[in-house]
């Protein structure tokens, strides 16, 4: 483990780009023992965003989204043996898909944050107290986020335990130790880091212009709530105390919901029937719903959005065709729900793509997706005829774009608090009804919530579908629904072009698979990548792998 986690703290060069288009690319990182100026510390701060760059395509291009293919929301989308092994719960530790890049990358981020936390407070002769406080807030935020990024996929409350916790106080000889007895210890550390980050970070309205896209108090509170929600999943044995964690969820969500003035958060709603679709435009990267995203540009940044559309983009742009929606997701939306057409492109519908009016499934614009549908939620950067080089990369093998890659937004705050209230007070809780009705109102649905578990689960599925975080698969596991849901057959939809009527005809649902076998004693976590064991004696693989 030392080779993976500790030595990275002295990396000499890290190529990075910030989480927003105004961020300057910084090449030099340097070991913490050599920092002498504020500029060098700024380079180290920028290095926390290294997972956003072109050099980390496997982290924010695909990465954990291969795990999301295990949910009932989407499939691999095109033939790919190793990806299908993951989806069918037959993944091995040596699996070559780039989800394996995420574990080492997050421990690199962890090490960079630790360097800042341990070193910057000693630089009082060259750094102001205000600047030291700001940097520490950013570092605690990223250390917590790095652990929240991977802990749900690799740790449990038994039999495997948590994943390694490496703090700025961890001695070199103590890094390669046994895993924590429970992943709840990871969540406790994440909550602690996010509380400390929120204490030090400014409010969103107080961020300087050159800090756009940086963490702030509300972002830290929101991610602390997510960690607490995940910790509350464990209701027996060990360190589990669901009520304690649900109350943390409510505390953190209330912190956000009680903000006022320029910091007040709300669901974005322009009053139109395109309100949900319009949320997913670069113009609204920092709308009233924003809490934290990774934002790139046409030159560099996250690539996930371009991985999910029609494979090859009909020759207009090389979108990659991975991660396609299931018919079950399409069917989960109620009639009249504006989120469905904003999220899924269905046969016979139109989309503007690189300035072309595309009739999806026509004789000209055929369908390559294995499920007969494709995602449209994040495709706004590709709309304009001049988008290439302006909004998206000129290189179709890159797919960088200027739409924020959402990690958490205000809608999730409402949903997390509603879930905590239902868990604590039972179905029908009046405040939970009000929160869910806010979600339904923006979806243009009747505000008739009954605040049942079934409704809460459906609203999370429909509202948050296909976002990089949070995970539908993690939701299914923590609710105890994964085994039953995965056993159900997956469906796509069949269509054909009717030349006589010059229209796309939808034939109906078609079976994609016969269901999958999820073993709740094993498949609630994934195998730790083989590379994580280089140089380690004490790190143990998850059982069954």
Q: Report residue 21's pLDDT band, with 50, 70 and 90 as the boundaries.
A: very low
pLDDT of 443 strictly over 90 = yes
For every residue of 30-77, DSSP letters joined together read --GGG--SHHHHHHHHHGGGGGGSGGGHIIIIITTHHHHTTSSSEE--
Q: Give the integer Cα–Cα distance in Å for 55 and 47.
A: 12
Task: Tell me how far the alpha carbon of residue 44 is from its chain's centroid.
Answer: 24
282, 288 contact by CB (below 8 A) = no
* 300-323 pLDDT per residue, tens: 999 999 999 999 999 999 999 999
Q: Which pLDDT score is estimated for 10? A: 34
Whether 337 contacts 444, CB under 8 Å:
yes
* Encoded tokens for 26: 């910084």
Count of other CB atoms within 10 angstroms of residue 258:
9
Contact 245, 239 (CB under 8 A): no
In whole angstroms, give the CA distance from residue 91 to residue 13.
33
Span 354-369, pLDDT tens digits: 999 999 999 999 999 9
Cα 179 from Cα 234, distance rounded (Å): 18
Q: What is the pTM of this model?
A: 0.94
Q: How large is the average pLDDT for residues 420-434?
A: 98
- For residue 123, how many other CB atoms are within 10 A of its CB? 18
Residue 147 pLDDT greater than 60, yes or no:
yes
pLDDT digit string (tens) for 208-237? 999 999 999 999 999 999 999 999 999 765
């Amino acid at each position: 483990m030392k080779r993976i986690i500790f030595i990275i703290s002295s990396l000499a060069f890290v190529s990075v780009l910030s989480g927003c288009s105004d961020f300057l690319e910084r090449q030099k990182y340097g070991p913490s023992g050599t920092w002498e100026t504020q500029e060098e510390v700024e380079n180290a701060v920028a290095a926390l965003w290294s997972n956003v760059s072109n050099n980390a395509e496997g982290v924010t291009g695909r990465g954990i989204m291969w795990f999301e293919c295990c949910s009932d929301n989407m499939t691999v989308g095109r033939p790919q043996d190793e990806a299908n092994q993951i989806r069918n719960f037959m993944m091995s530790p040596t699996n070559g898909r780039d989800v394996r890049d995420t574990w080492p990358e997050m421990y690199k981020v962890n090490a960079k944050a630790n360097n800042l936390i341990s070193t910057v407070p000693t630089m009082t002769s060259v750094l102001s107290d205000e600047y030291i406080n700001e940097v520490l807030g950013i570092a605690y935020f990223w250390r917590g986020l790095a652990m929240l990024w991977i802990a749900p996929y690799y740790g449990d409350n038994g039999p495997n335990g948590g994943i390694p916790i490496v703090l700025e106080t961890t001695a070199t000889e103590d890094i390669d130790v046994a895993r924590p007895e429970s992943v709840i210890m990871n969540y406790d550390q994440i909550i602690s880091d996010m509380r400390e980050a929120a204490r030090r970070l400014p409010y969103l309205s107080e961020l300087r212009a050159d800090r756009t896209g940086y963490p702030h108090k509300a972002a830290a509170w929101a991610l602390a709530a997510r960690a607490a929600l995940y910790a509350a999943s464990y209701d027996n044995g060990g360190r589990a105390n669901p009520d304690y964690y649900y109350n943390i969820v409510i505390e953190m969500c209330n912190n956000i919901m009680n903000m006022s003035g320029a910091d007040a958060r709300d669901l974005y709603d322009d009053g139109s029937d395109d309100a949900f679709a319009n949320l997913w435009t670069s113009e609204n990267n920092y709308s009233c719903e924003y809490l934290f995203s990774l934002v790139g540009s046409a030159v560099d940044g996250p690539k996930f959005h371009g991985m999910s559309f029609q494979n090859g983009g009909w020759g207009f742009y090389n979108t990659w065709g991975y991660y396609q929606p299931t018919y079950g997701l399409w069917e989960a939306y109620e009639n009249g729900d504006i989120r469905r057409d904003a999220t899924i492109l269905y046969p016979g519908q139109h989309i503007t793509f690189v300035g072309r009016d595309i009739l999806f499934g026509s004789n000209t614009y055929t369908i390559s997706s294995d499920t007969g549908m494709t995602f449209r939620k994040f495709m706004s950067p590709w709309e304009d005829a001049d988008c290439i080089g302006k909004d998206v990369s000129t290189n179709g093998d890159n797919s960088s774009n200027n739409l924020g890659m959402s990690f958490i937004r205000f809608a999730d705050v409402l949903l997390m608090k509603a879930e905590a209230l239902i868990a604590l007070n039972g179905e029908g809780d009046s405040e939970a009804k009000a929160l869910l009705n806010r979600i339904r109102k923006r979806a243009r649905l009747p505000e008739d919530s009954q605040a049942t578990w079934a409704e809460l689960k459906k609203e999370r599925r429909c509202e948050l579908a296909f976002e990089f975080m949070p995970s539908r698969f993690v939701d299914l596991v923590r609710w105890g629904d994964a085994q039953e849901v995965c056993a159900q057959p997956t469906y796509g939809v069949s269509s054909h072009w009717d030349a006589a009527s010059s229209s796309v005809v939808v034939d109906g649902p078609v079976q994609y698979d016969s269901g999958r076998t999820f073993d709740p004693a094993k498949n609630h976590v994934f195998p730790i990548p083989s590379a994580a064991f280089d140089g380690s004696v004490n790190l143990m693989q998850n059982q069954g792998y």
